């Protein structure tokens, strides 16, 4: 009987060994996963947006910066004859996917400026020379509002002077004079003539160290001029004889220094210069070979100076960021194209 019992035990052990995983591993400690677990893991790695591609959040409120302010924002008109307006925000080190506006359009370039935690936008509607405006607070855009007392043939400009938002624009029907107005958070002031200055294109506004500056392509001689706002009046226009452009300049700031960029007069190269509060630096060719046939766009935001432009010979938008005394290598945004100059704030 003992012999029969031993034989039965040996047979039982032999059967159990046939089901022992190779290598001695427990079924789920490092060997093969069961088919259901393997399928779940593969789907997580290959199909989950959070695991592969960083996509914009569904809630616009999540785009607010750490200070609660609206993030850096880009707006542009569609390509060719398309009049629709598109926008994108910069959060987490990248530009979000483009989004279309459903309640506004333009045939010229929009304008943007950041003030009081909001981003303001101004533009000229197709078939209407009046200027419209709207505000973005990080949650959404307000409905467009028309300013019945002001019209332009080109694009308006927006800037900030202290706590006031400032708008400047060229006249209509052959009027090359520059006009301006301020917004105190509730209403726009009546339009005023900037006096003694006229432009062949659109004026540019930019603020640095708490002061607002204007630059423009003078209609009379094609020179580049600039002026500063002090209280409720502009300083006398001054020409910058070392820089010429066929489109007009753009102004921006990294918070302390004013920056000017412009397209060359006989080539598409982009040039730039810095104003330290007392003098402009000598012009320099923008690094990395940036070129455009239109006016580049700059923003005025402390610590976040962006330049965005439409690359010459290509309708795609390209951008660069200024920091630690140098511009980053240009990056093309393959999902967006424009027929005019973009805006950034």
Regions of the chain where pLDDT drops below 70: 1-67
In the chain, what are the domain boundaries?
A: 63-344
Give the pair of three-digit tokens for residue 278. 């007392």
From the CA atom positions of the chain, what is the Rg in Å?
Answer: 29
Give the pair of three-digit tokens for residue 19. 């089901």
Give the pair of three-digit tokens for residue 208. 């640095």
| pLDDT confidence of residue 199 | 97
| pLDDT confidence of residue 22 | 33
- Domain 63-344 CATH assignment equals 3.50.7.10: no
The sign of the dihedral angle between the CA atoms of 316, 251, 107, 57 is positive
Count of H helices and E strands in the chain?
3, 27
| pLDDT confidence of residue 34 | 32
Whether the full predicted model's pTM is greater than 0.85, yes or no, is: no
| pLDDT confidence of residue 13 | 35
- State the DSSP string of 85-107: EEEEEEETTEEPPPEEEEEEE-S
Residue with tokens 């790695």: 45
Taking the C-alpha atoms of residue 30 and residue 28, their distance in angstroms, rounded to an integer, is 6
| pLDDT confidence of residue 302 | 80
């Amino acid at each position: 009987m003992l012999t029969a019992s031993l034989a039965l035990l040996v047979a039982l052990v032999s059967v159990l060994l046939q089901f022992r995983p190779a290598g001695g591993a427990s079924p789920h400690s490092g060997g093969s996963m069961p088919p259901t677990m393997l399928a779940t893991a593969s789907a997580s790695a290959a199909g989950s947006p959070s695991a592969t591609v960083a996509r914009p959040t569904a809630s616009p409120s999540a785009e607010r910066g750490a200070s609660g302010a609206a993030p850096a924002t880009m707006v542009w008109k569609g390509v060719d004859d398309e009049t629709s307006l598109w926008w994108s925000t910069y959060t987490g080190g990248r530009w979000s996917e483009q989004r279309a506006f459903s309640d506004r359009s333009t045939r010229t370039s929009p304008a943007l400026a950041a003030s009081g935690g909001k981003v303001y936008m101004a533009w000229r509607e197709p078939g209407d020379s009046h200027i419209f405006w709207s505000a973005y607070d990080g949650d959404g855009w307000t409905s467009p509002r028309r300013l019945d007392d002001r019209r332009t043939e080109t694009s308006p400009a927006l800037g900030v002077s202290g706590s006031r938002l400032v708008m400047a624009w060229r006249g209509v029907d052959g009027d090359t004079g520059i006009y301006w107005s301020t917004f105190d958070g509730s209403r726009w002031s009546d339009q005023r003539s900037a006096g003694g200055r006229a432009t062949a294109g659109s004026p540019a506004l930019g603020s640095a160290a708490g002061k607002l500056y204007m630059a423009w392509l003078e209609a009379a001689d094609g020179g580049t001029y600039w002026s500063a706002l002090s209280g409720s009046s502009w300083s006398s226009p001054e020409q910058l004889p070392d820089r010429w452009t066929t489109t007009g300049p753009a102004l921006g700031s990294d918070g302390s220094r004013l920056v000017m960029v412009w397209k060359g007069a006989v080539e598409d190269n982009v040039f730039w210069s810095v104003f330290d509060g007392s003098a402009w630096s000598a012009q320099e060719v923008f690094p990395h070979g940036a070129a455009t046939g239109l006016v580049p766009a700059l923003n005025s935001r402390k610590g976040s100076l962006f330049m965005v432009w439409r690359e010459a010979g290509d309708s795609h938008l390209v951008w660069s960021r200024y920091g630690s005394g140098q511009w980053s290598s240009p990056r093309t945004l393959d999902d967006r194209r424009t027929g005019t100059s973009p805006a950034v704030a």
